[in-house]
Chains A and B, each alone.
Chain A
């Protein structure tokens, strides 16, 4: 995952917004993704954004893409304890490359 970078930990209080950031290096990436991994489970696709889009919103999730800076973010509004998980950013060109994952902890 060295081509995709994200911070390893984030802690927020229940009800606050969470913002998880990611930088990628390949400007030719066509799709960018966010996956969620709950304890003891595999990765679940949360959302993805095509590279010609700036923003995508899906209920409590907002994805922002800044192609100039190769920066992707995932905002979770009204964060709940059930959102505690590891969140992976990924880019795809010919195959998919994952970041190391950000462990989100939600405190009551």
Chain B
């Protein structure tokens, strides 16, 4: 069963902390994505990556960075967490950039910044 695994289901962090969200996929997909999900706003793309060591900004990259040192792992970094970054974070992967056969999503990390 193919999987996208996010390391934490729930996280609580303090304002100003550096936060790492990890995502690992076992499908040998080139493309990986980070979204945040907020009620009424749907999914908004933060960053994506088409290859190892490659990254592209999505629609809302401010306050975030990413790292892709290995094909299977894509990390989202909150450099200095703020309360407006409290959200559900979803990682996804696909074999094509447009995801012609759909994206495979992880279960999500619900981050609360206090």
Residues of A at the B interface (CB closer than 8 Å) are 1, 4, 8, 30-31, 33, 35, 40-45, 48, 88, 92-96, 98-101
Contact = CB atoms under 8 A, between A and B. Distances in A.
- The 4 A-B pairs of least Cβ separation, nearest first, read A42-B105, A1-B42, A100-B42, A45-B102
B55 interface: no
A8 B39 CA distance: 10
B10 to A, nearest CB: 10
Contacts of B102: 33, 35, 45, 48
Interface of B: 4, 6, 9, 35, 40-45, 48, 90, 92, 97-108
A3 to B, nearest CB: 11
19 contacts: A4-B42, A8-B40, A31-B99, A31-B100, A35-B105, A40-B107, A40-B108, A41-B108, A42-B90, A42-B92, A42-B106, A43-B43, A43-B92, A44-B105, A88-B42, A95-B98, A96-B98, A100-B41, A101-B42
Q: Which of B101, B102, B104, B105 has the most CB of A within 10 A?
A: B102
Given A43-B92, A98-B42, 12 more contacts: A1-B41, A1-B42, A1-B44, A4-B42, A30-B100, A42-B90, A43-B90, A43-B103, A45-B102, A95-B48, A95-B97, A99-B42
Contacts of A88: 42-43
Contacts, number: 62
B43 A1 contact: yes
A40 B105 CA distance: 13
A30 B98 contact: yes
A98 B106 CA distance: 16
